[in-house]
Amino acid sequence: MTEYSHLPEDRRVRLERTETVAVKELAPLAAAGAPGVINRPLLAALAGHGLLGQVFRRDGEDFLPTSAIDLCLIREGLARHCTEAETALAVQGLGAYPILRAGRPEVVRTWLPRIAAGEAAAAFALTEPDAGSDVGSLAMRAEPDRGGFRLSGEKAFISNAPDADIYTVFARTTPGAGSRGITAFAVPRDSAGLSGERITLVSPHPIGRLRFDNVFVPGTHLLGELDGGMRVAMRTLDLFRPSVGAFAVGMGQAALDAAVAHAAARPAFGRLLRDFQAVSHQLAEVATRLHAARLLVHDAAAAYDAGSGRTGHLSAMAKLFATETAQFAVDVAIQVHGARALEHGHLLEHLYREVRAPRIYEGATEIQREIIARHLFGTR
C-alpha cells in the first residue's frame, strides 16, 4: 500500500480492516437491499462492525466528533468495495453532525445513541426546488409560535428522505437577510404536517422530497443560534467535503483496479491490452491523478483536524479535484473494457452511475472553484 506511506501504521491498518468488512460483510447486505430505500440491516451492520462508532466516538455518556482524516479513510475504504455502505454511513454522519455539534443536550441524548447504533436514520435537509448552490435564497419559512416555530415549505433531493427518522432542516427565520437569516432545526419524521415522497435518480441511493405543512418544532430543537444556521451548515460541509473526495477516490481506485486487471488479461491483436501504450499510459495517468487526489483529500482533512483556521478552500480543492478525477478514472476504465462494462450489473456500470452525483452535491464543481477563487482574492 505504497500510496498510503504518508499515514501512520494504525491508520493504514484501520483502512485495511474497513476494506475487509466492506467485502465480506457489507457488500452482501447491500446487494440484498432495494434501490432507493434505506437499507436498515446495512445501517445495523455498519454499527455492529464499529464503523459508525468511529464516526460518532463515545467518551462516557458524551459523543465526540470524528477526526476528518479518519472519516476520509473509512469512506475511501468502503467506496472501493461497497458504495452503498459508504453512502449509508456518510448520510448518517451528514445528518447527525449538526445535532452533535450544535444540538441542545436533551436532543443529543435522544438521537445520537440511536443514530450511532444504526437504529435511526438521519438526513441533512438543505436543498430546495429553487435553492441549491445559492443557499441564501432558501424559501422555507420558520415562523415563531408559542414555545417554538412553525415550518412551511419544501425540500428536494434529500438523501434518506422521506424515510429518515430525524432531519437536520434549514429554514428562513429572518426574511430578506439572505444566508444570515437561516436557522437549523432537528425535526423528527413523525412531526405532524411533515410528509414526502421518493425521487428516482440515476444513483440508486435513497433520496426524496419533503413537504412541511405548518410543522411545529419546539425551541429546544434549534441547532445552534437563531439565524446561525449557515454557520452550522458550513461547519458540517467543511468536515464532509474532503470526505466526499475520499468517496470519489475510493470509486476511482476501484475503477483503476478493474481496468488494470482487465488490461493484464485481455488479448487483442496478438498481445495483451497492457502492451498497447495507448492503454497503459491512460492507466498511468489515472493512477497519478488518483494519488494526487488522495493527498489533497488527506491534506484538507489534516488541516481541518489541526484547527488551523479557515480551511474551506482546502476542502473545496479536495472535493473538486477528487470528484473530477474519479469521473475521469471511471470513464477510462470503461473505455478499456469496452461494451461489456456497460452491461447492467457490471462493476463499472454501477460506478458510472454512482460517480456522477458527487460532482453536484455538497457544492457543485463550479461552486468549489468559486470558493477557491474567493480565497485567492481575499473575498467572501
Q: Which residues are catalytic?
A: 362
- Distance between CA 85 and CA 168 in Å, rounded? 21
- The C-alpha cell that represents 108 in the structure block: 443529543
- Distance between CA 83 and CA 301 in Å, rounded? 21
CB under 8 Å to 202, separation ≥6 — which residues?
353, 356, 357
Buried b (16+ CB within 10 A) or exposed e, 234-272: ebbbbbbbbbbbbbbbbbbbbbbebbbebbeeeeeeeeb
**Three-state secondary structure call for residue 223:** strand
Whether the CB-CB separation of 75 and 250 falls below 8 Å is answered with yes
Whether the CB-CB separation of 243 and 205 falls below 8 Å is answered with no
Q: ω before 162 within 30° of 0 (cis)?
A: yes
For residue 60, count other CB atoms closer than 10 A to its CB.
Answer: 5
